[in-house]
Amino acid sequence: MKKILITGALGQIGSELTVKLRDIYGQDNVIATDIRITDSEAANNGPFEILDVMDANKMMELAKKYNVDTIMHMAALLSATLKQSRYLPGTLTWAV
């Protein structure tokens, strides 16, 4: 079964994506991550981890812990029009 890790899972796009993918692949197969935690369906209905996407070591640790085969980066996207955060341009790309 596919194992998916979603960064920015509590944001506008990530929260909807997390819920939909959990419907498709099962709650335990979609790992939600975000830099903060809130009381939301994405955080409460399946695996959730606090993650700063700038921490490549933690990202790799979580990918191994959950045997992830797909990572979907939704962090730092400010809206459905895919506007980028002004403080992170160009800093979210690193070798995986």
Neighbours of 52 (CB within 10 A): 13
pLDDT over 50 at 95, yes or no: no
Specify if 91 maps to a domain: no
- Give the pLDDT band of residue 78 (cuts 50, 70, 90): low
DSSP 51-66: --TT-HHHHHHHHHHT
- Give the pLDDT band of residue 15 (cuts 50, 70, 90): very high
Specify if 83 maps to a domain: no
The 10s digit of each residue's pLDDT in 30-72 is: 999 999 988 888 788 999 999 999 999 999 999 999 999 999 9
User: Domain containing 56: what range?
Assistant: 4-73
Specify if 80 maps to a domain: no
Q: Total domain count for the chain?
A: 1
Specify if 85 maps to a domain: no
pTM of the model: 0.79
